[in-house]
Amino acid sequence: MTERPDLSSLPSYRQPRRSLLVARKLALMASVVAGLGVAVYGFSPSTSPSDLFSSPAHAQVNTEVRKVERPIGFADIVERVKPSVISVKVNIKEKAASNDDGDDSPFQPGSPMERFFRRFGGQDGIPGMRGPRGGGRAVTGQGSGFFISADGFAVTNNHVVDGADKVEVTTDDGKTYSAKVIGTDQRTDLALIKVEGGSNFSFAKLSDGKPRIGDWVLAVGNPFGLGGTVTAGIVSASGRDIGNGPYDDFIQIDAPVNKGNSGGPAFNTDGEVMGVNTAIYSPSGGSVGIAFSIPAATVKSVVAQLKDKGSVSRGWIGVQIQPVTSDIADSLGMKKAEGALVAEPQANGPAAKAGIESGDVITSVNGESVKDARELARTIGGMAPGATVKLNVLHKGQDKVVNLTLGQLPNTVEAKADTDNDNSKAPTRGTDVPKLGMTVAPANSVAGAGKDGVVVTEVDPKSAAAESGFKEGDVILEVAGKSVSTAGDVRDAINAARTDNKNSVLMRVKSGGQSRFVAVPLAKG
């Protein structure tokens, strides 16, 4: 029997314990790798440690991870909704000379904000691409729109088709059709057109829900005349007022929109139209990430009337209103700055006939609270003429209920200005109103000021009156709810307000034919 040699004396000899440790490490590594892969691919006991690292399972696991991390796109939604979007091309004669730059600002010409807010229907949809100039010569304009029914009814902006002699639309598949304008609504900047020559158009659904801030939004349209283009962003704000009118309630989005996008839809991730793109905020005319869309709820209401009768009828109560600021609320003894303050009821209007007076605050309509003046305008404007409404009104510190029948909002409501406003005769010096920084004189002593109230003849530019917006020529009709005709009346009313520990005093002021309430802070002492 051969004797076993002593291996410990050999240079290559290693202790069995170390070999055991190496084996345990390999087993541990194998178990970790197996743990990573067994959930998907399983682990075979016959697999050797070296097989684990050469196996394709490790690479396949990484592939699966990459699939999970990949951002989710909008291709499926776009493929479904894009065929409903159209390019709208118009031929306009009247605007060749008057709308040379293609921008239709919601602000008055010369307004400091005019250059920042732009609508983007645009002649040819591309700056510099204009038709021949001169009266009677035609120019073209381009915008966007979308079908709302298979038989060819489509929505776009009023300012896209306003004054158009000819309207053509191009569908997503490149086909061109003639269209006619069914009706327009300037106040909401919406228009309904009817495409002729088809009866099976792809159409979009107007959303029933209200978008939330942060929701995804897809804008589809015809920017710069390039054809169907899709951009994405989020809803960045809601209830925006851009000074376009009393019915402003825009959705603000940051999806890039530009000239030619006007009238195009803003889709949510359900493929429904949440709004109609109508304006952008831009110093340059291009997208800076702030755009405004008309909410789907407004579109539904307006389009239904346009389709039915070609125009929109709105309820009207006949009042000039303004917001209730915190200073005004304090002057009226209100706990919260909410509701709509009646600056002046219009003569023979529904409100005047029902007994509503200047200085009243309308706090609710049919039991629904009124947040501010804009909300009142939208609520009443959304009702049909002839409807009976119940208004809760704060009248001289007391709550009362007024029932009235809505009239129909006139197509043009013009402010009545004094016709005898003659500034050829310089106003008298007037009498100082202490601690307000202005002088006043009886209105009947100043040419063109009328018979009622006191006229402001001078304003200290560093005074409380100047900070509150008073200027020379304004007529103060009431102070703290009391009619005034002399400087003494003004001083008495102010002293009474101080005695009542008021922080400000409410004045009804007539300026440029318009009445408004101004809360003037009272200096202490």
pLDDT tens-digit series, residues 259-310: 888 999 999 999 999 999 998 887 766 778 889 999 999 999 999 999 999 9
Q: Is the pLDDT of residue 102 over 60?
A: no
User: Are 261 and 219 within 8 A, CB to CB?
Assistant: yes
User: Are 476 and 511 within 8 A, CB to CB?
Assistant: no
- Which of the two residues, 443 and 96, has the higher pLDDT score? 443
Instruction: Establish whether 418 is a catalytic residue.
Output: no
Among the listed residues 189, 248, 254, 330, the single catalytic one is 189
> Quick one: pLDDT at residue 98?
43
Out of 17-26, 66-75, 244-253, 491-500, least confident range:
17-26
Q: How far apart are CA 183 and CA 157, in angstroms?
A: 11
Amino acid occupying residue 477? L
Instruction: Establish whether 492 is a catalytic residue.
Output: no
Q: Is the pLDDT of residue 125 over 50?
A: no
Among the listed residues 87, 262, 293, 504, the single catalytic one is 262
Percent of the chain with pLDDT over 90: 38
> Quick one: pLDDT at residue 190?
95
Q: Is the pLDDT of residue 482 over 70?
A: yes
CA neighbor of 471 nearest in space, from 521, 518, 416: 518
Instruction: Establish whether 58 is a catalytic residue.
Output: no
> Quick one: pLDDT at residue 515?
86
Mean pLDDT, residues 204-224 taken together: 93
Among the listed residues 159, 282, 468, 504, the single catalytic one is 159
DSSP state of 395: E
Mean pLDDT, residues 417-446 taken together: 62
Q: Is the pLDDT of residue 158 over 80?
A: yes
Q: What is the distance between the terminal CA atoms of the chain, rounded to a whole angstrom?
A: 125
Mean pLDDT, residues 20-49 taken together: 43
Please give the C-alpha separations between residue 338 and each of 275, 305, 481, 497, in angstroms, as whole numbers: 28, 31, 19, 22
Tens digits of per-residue pLDDT, 45-101? 444 444 544 445 455 555 555 555 555 789 999 999 999 999 999 988 754 444 433
Q: How far apart are CA 134 and CA 139, in angstroms?
A: 10
> Quick one: pLDDT at residue 56?
52
Amino acid occupying residue 33? V
Q: How far apart are CA 457 and CA 435, in angstroms?
A: 16
Mean pLDDT of the chain: 78
Prediction pTM value:
0.66
- Which of the two residues, 222 and 134, has the higher pLDDT score? 222
